[in-house]
Structure 1
Amino acid sequence: MIKTAIFGVSVALAPLAASAQATLTAETTTPGSTPHYIDTTLAAILDSAGVATVQITEGATLTNSVQAVAQGQLDMAPAPLILPFLLSRGIGPYSGVGAEDGAEMAGNLRVLFWNSGSAQIFAYYNNNPIEDIRSLDGLRIWNGPPRGAALTSGRAMIQLLSGAKDGEDYEGIQTPWPDTVSAITGGGVDAWTIPEGLPSGREIAIAAAGGITMHDVPSDLLASELGQQILAAPGHAPYSVPVEAFRAAYAGNDITIVTDDDTFDSFATAFGQIVNAAMDEELAYQITKAYLEGEQRFIEGSPRGPFAMLSFGDIDGVSQGACGAVQIKMHEGAIRAFEEAGHSVADCLRP
C-alpha cells in the first residue's frame, strides 16, 4: 500500500522485512499532553525494535487527523473516539463530509490499542475564585479548541456542573491548542475546563502564573441521569483515581485539588490509536506487538505513565469506550498481537 505522507513524500507500507523498517507518518497533540507522550514513546519503541520510523507532526487538530487517516493520507493518529462516531454520521465537525461519505470513511478506521488517560477537569485562579461551581452563569470559561471532541466534552462538563449552556448562560472561549496556556494566563477567562492527563504539564504551566484550584465532578452530579448519560456518551469512559495519588502527582506546584470524597472522579476522553484498515496485517501486528512488549517503558517513562490508562490486558470493548454508540473495530494484526500475548479481545471489536 502506498500513502502520501504529510511531508510530501511517498512511503511504502509493505509487509515488514527483517532488513528494513517501515516509514510511517503520524500526527499528535501538543507536547505535555497524554497523546503526545504515548505517540512519542511509541515512536521510540518502534524505532529501537526495528519496526518503523515514525515522522510525527505535533500540535495537530485531531479532527483533521482522523479524517486524514480515514482517507489514507496519514498512517497513524490518536483518535478521541467521539470523532469516528461523528465522522460515521457526517455530523458536527464533519457535517461538510455528509452522512454517506462519512460512513464510508469511518469504516476505513481500525484501532491498534486504547487509552483513556485524559480526565475532564474544572479549574480557576485562586485570586479570582469561583464561589460555587454549580453556578457558572455569566462567566467567561475556556472550554476547548474551536471545534472537535475536547470542545464537546468541555461544554458537557459545564452543563453537568451547573446546567449552563455555552452562548446562552456563559461565554465559552475557544482557542487553538497551542494558545491555551496564554489565553488562560492572560486573564481573559474566569475559569477553564480541559481534558487533562495526570500530571498535566499544561496545568503546571498555568499554575506557574498563580495558584489554581482544580475540581472533579461531585459524586451526586456524576451519579445523576445527566452524569450517567455523559459517562456513556460517544467518546467518554469513566475515570477515577485516588485523590491522594492525584494530589501527589502535582506535589510542589501551587495546585489545590478539591473532591467530595477520597477519589478524583470525572469522565475520561476515550482514545484509540488508529490506522487505516488497509494497513498491512503484518505491519499492524508488529507495531502492536512492540507496543505490548514496551509496557514497562510506557508506564515508567513519565510521571503520567501510570495514569495513561493504556490497554495492556484483556479488551472487552465497553471499558475502552467502544462497542456501544461507537462502533469502531480493531485491526486484524492488532488482535493477533493481543491474543498471542494471552489477552482476549471482544467479538464486537473484530472486523
Structure 2
Amino acid sequence: MIRKTIAGAILAMLPTAGFAQATLTAETTSPGSTPHYIDTTLAAVLDAAGVATMQITEGATLTNSVQAVAEGQLDIAPAPLILPFLLSRGVGPYSGLGAERGGELAGNLRALFFSAPSAQLFGHYNSGAIQSPDDIEGKRIYNGPPRGAALTTGRAAIQLLSGLKDGEGYEGVQTPWPDTVGTITGGAVDGWTLPEGLPSGRQIAIAAAGGTTLYDIPSDILNSELGQQIVNAPGNVAYSIPVEEYRAAYAGNDITIVTDDDSFDTFALAFAQIVPASMDEELAYQITRAYLAGQERFLTGSPRGPYLFLSFGDINGSAQGICGAVTLTMHPGAIRAYEEAGHTVADCARP
C-alpha cells in the first residue's frame, strides 16, 4: 500500500505568545474519508494558529495507529472507540499483545475531542444481483478492510439486515481502504456495507460507475434486542438524520436512498482524537483550544461538515461513546480548554 506524507497545508502564522510551535506526527485514513477531512482541517487550524505543524501519513490502518499512539511512537490519530476498548482487553486485532500488555497500552491513551461521523449503510448497484437486503444470502459482500473497527461493524450490519454471518450465509470480501472503490466498481462483489460520512465521496465515486441504492437499518430491526445490542456496543452510537437531508446530500448523483420512515437511522462509529497520556499538558490545551476556536472552519469547509457530530459543546460521556464499556478519558489539557470555553466535562471523562 502506497502511503503519502503531507505537512500543514498553509504557512504558519506567528506562534502564540509564550508557546513555541510544535511538530506533530499523525496518521489518518485515505483521502475522501471523513477522518481524513477532520485531520487535515485540524492540521490547517493548528498551523494557522501557530500551535503545531502536523506531518500526516495518509492511508493508515487505524488499528496500527492506535497502538502506535499508545506506545508513544505517534503523536495524534483518529481512533474508532472500539479499538481502545479491544486494546484494553488484548483481544481482536490486539490478541497478540495479551490482556496485561494491552491494558497497559490502553492506559497510555487520552482523548482531545470526539466525533461520530461514519454511519453504517448497505448498498448495491441497481443492475446487479442484489435488489434489496433480502437478497444477501449466498452473495459476495464487501464488508470492510481486512481487520479493525469497520470490519466489525460491517459484519454486524449484515447480520442485522439479513440474519447472516460472514462465511456462513454470505461471502465477506475485505481489502485495504485505498482499494475499496476499485473492488466494488470492478464487479468483485454484489453489494457492500461501509461506515460513511455524509455526503461520502466514496459512494459518489461508486455511483459514477452505475446507479446505486443505499439503505439504512429499518426501525423495527434497529429497535430489536440485537439491534440495540449493536447500537449500544462499545464504540457505537445511535445515528439519525432526516431522510430529505440525506437525499439532498447526494442530489445530482445516481444514488437512491431507501428508508422505512422519514429518517435515515443506523449506528455510527464513535471516534476520539487520541494522543499519548504523556503529551505535554500545555500542548494538549493549545491543540484543543485551537480546535474549539476553529468550529466554523470544520463545519463549513466541506458539505459533510454539519454531519460530523464533532464535540464542540459539553462532554457528558454517553453522547461521545465513553463512560461505559469504553473507559477512554480526556487529556487534562483538553479538559482545561473545554472548561475555559464554558463547557462542562463529566467526571467519568476525567483521568
Normalised by the size of structure 1, how large is the TM-score? 0.95
- What is the match of residue 13 of structure 1? none
- For the residues of structure 2 that align with 1:117 and 1:171, how far apart are their CA atoms? 27
5 Å matches for 1:335-346?
A: 335-346=335-346
Identity score, percent: 74
Q: Could you tell me whether the CA contact under 8 Å between 2:6 and 2:56 is conserved in 1? A: no
Which residue is 2:127 aligned to?
Answer: 127
Structure 1 counterpart of 2:288 = 288
2:295 aligned with 1:273: no
Q: Is the 8 A contact 1:112 1:331 kept in 2?
A: yes
Matches within 5 A, 1:89-104: 89-104=89-104
Question: Structure 1 residue 256 and structure 2 residue 256: aligned?
Answer: yes
What is the distance in 2 between the residues matched to 1:337 and 1:148?
A: 31
2:315 paired residue number: 315
Q: Does 1:328 align with 2:328?
A: yes
Please say if residues 6 and 73 of structure 1, whose CA atoms lie closer than 8 Å, have aligned partners that are also in contact.
Answer: no
Task: Write out per-residue CA displacement over residues 222-266 of structure 1, whole angstroms, 9 at most, x where no aligned residue.
Answer: 000000000000110010011111111111110000001111000
Counterpart-to-counterpart distance in 2, 1:298 and 1:314: 17
1:58 corresponds to which residue? 58
Counterpart of 1:23 in structure 2 is: 23
Partner AA of 2:195 in structure 1: P
Asked if 1:224 corresponds to 2:203, the answer is no
CA contact (8 A) 1:124 1:130 kept: yes
Alignment deviations for residues 145-174 of structure 1 (CA, whole Å, 9 cap, x no partner): 000000000000000001100011100000
Match of 1:47 in 2: 47
Deviates more, 1:129-138 or 1:96-105: 129-138
SS class of match (1:330): coil
Q: State whether structure 2 residue 194 is matched by structure 1 residue 166.
A: no
In the TM superposition, residue 137 of structure 1 has moved relative to its aligned partner by 1.3
Partner of 2:10: none
Listed as ranges, the gaps of 5+ residues in structure 2 are 8-15
CA contact 1:120–1:193 (8 Å) conserved in 2: yes
Q: How many residues align?
A: 340
For the 8 Å contact 1:236–1:321, the answer to whether it is kept is yes
Please give the alpha-carbon distance, in whole angstroms, between the structure 1 residues aligned to 2:279 and 2:200. Answer: 33
User: Which digits, 9 at most, give the CA deviation of each residue in 1:62-93, with x for residues without a partner?
Assistant: 00000000000000000000000000000000
SS of the aligned residue for 1:20 comes to: coil
For residue 131 of structure 1, report the CA deviation from its aligned partner: 3.5
3-state DSSP of counterpart to 2:103: helix
Q: Which residue of 2 aligns with 1:83?
A: 83
One-letter amino acid matched to 1:126? N
Where does residue 233 of structure 2 map in the other structure? 233
| TM-score, normalization by structure 2 | 0.95
- Residue identity opposite 2:326 in structure 1: V
Instruction: State the one-letter code of the partner of 1:166.
Output: D
Pair 1:41–1:99, CA change in 2 (3 A): same
Please give the alpha-carbon distance, in whole angstroms, between the structure 1 residues aligned to 2:117 and 2:53.
Answer: 25
Residue aligned with 2:133, SS:
coil
Question: How far apart in 2 are the matches of 1:158 and 1:19?
Answer: 49
What displacement does 1:47 show? 0.3
- Report the CA distance between 1:132 and its aligned residue: 3.6
Q: Distance in 1 between matches of 2:131 and 2:17?
A: 61
Q: Displacement, 1:130?
A: 2.5
- Conserved? CA contact 1:28–1:59, under 8 Å: yes
Name structure 1 gaps, 5 residues minimum. Answer: 8-15
Shift of 1:134: 3.7
Residue matched to 1:242: 242
Residue 85 of structure 1: SS of its match in structure 2?
A: helix
In 2, Cα distance between equivalents of 1:118 and 1:154: 12
User: For 1:105-136, what per-residue CA distance to the aligned partner results, in whole angstroms no more than 9, with x for missing partners?
Assistant: 00000000000010000000000152341452
Cα contact 1:217–1:265 (8 A) shared by 2: yes
Q: Contact 1:6 / 1:74 at 8 angstroms: preserved in 2? A: no
Q: What SS is found at the alignment partner of 1:157?
A: helix
**Corresponding residue SS for 1:240:** strand
The 2-side partners of 1:278 and 1:135 are apart by 50
Question: Which residue number corresponds to residue 151 of structure 1?
Answer: 151
Q: Is the 8 A contact 2:112 2:272 kept in 1?
A: yes
